[in-house]
Amino acid sequence: MSARMSLALAMLLGLSSTPALAQDNAKLEARIAAYRHRVELLEDQNAIENLQATYGYYFDKGLWDQAADLFTKDGSFEYGQRGVYIGTDHIRRAMLLFGPQGLAAGHLNNHMQLQAVITIADDGLSAKARWQGMIMLARPGGNGIWGVGIYENQYLKQNGVWKISRLHFYVTAKTDYDLGWLKSAIPMEGESALFPPDAPPTEVYRAYPGAYIPPYDYKNPVTGKSLADIPEPPDSVVGRK
């Protein structure tokens, strides 16, 4: 909350600066500070929700320059098994592997950003979030494609502005529009030879028909226990038992 807002709040609450009331005021100030922090966390959550939704709207239309600007300077971008690109310049170029700046005619590149579970650090300076990423794709001469995946992203607040510090999209399934999952499973793209990533994929996994659980960044909200020990299903191709 800005200084102006907290001053307005103090006026609203009728706070006095009379010395006799100094002790009471200190108590009130402490409460105001605590509430200001809680309101800030609520505002942060909204800001992150808007940030990620904006990323989606940019990505849909091939607005790579604008999408890359949403990242911190040393932020990272990882999509499926394409590997990790680090820094806004590399992220911008990596996105060109999906098509030219500005979506080409006959293409559909919808990447919906849904079902947010946002967890903000107590200091309000970093956050993590899981998102459901439904995909609808099309290109000239090809059939429509349905897809789905999970985002597990990280964010940083720099000079009061939330930015994406780590975007990791786990593509989990893609299929031909008409055929459906039982008849068509489209595999993920691998690392590009044209513009290789800065680092290999952080996790090696297979999309559908393989099964994989993108690790949860949050704890079970009722038991408070970590979800880190949830076992990954076996995968004979990847070699996971």
Query: Taking CB under 8 A as the criterion, which residues in 164-203 touch other proteins?
Result: 172-173, 179-182
Amino acid at 135: I
Place of tokens 């992220």: 91
- The Cβ of residue 218 has, within 10 Å, a number of other Cβ atoms equal to 14
User: Residue from 11, 12, 194, 228 that binds other proteins (CB under 8 A)?
Assistant: 12
Work out whether 228 is an interface residue with other proteins (CB under 8 A): no
The total number of residues shown for the chain amounts to 241
**What count of Cα atoms within 13 Å lies in the side-chain half-sphere of residue 193?**
0
In three-state secondary structure terms, 207 is: coil
113 Cβ contact list (under 8 Å, min separation 6): 52, 53, 55, 56, 131, 133, 151
Site string for other proteins, 207-226 (x = CB under 8 A): -xxxxxx--x-x-xxxx---
CB of 204 to other proteins, least distance (A): 16
CB of 201 to other proteins, least distance (A): 19
Q: Which stretch binds other proteins (CB under 8 A): 6-14, 51-59, 64-72, 103-111?
A: 6-14
In three-state secondary structure terms, 156 is: strand
Q: Site residues (CB under 8 A) for other proteins? A: 12-15, 28, 31-32, 35, 38-39, 42, 45, 114-118, 130, 132, 134, 146, 148, 172-173, 179-182, 208-213, 216, 218, 220-223, 227, 230-231, 233-235
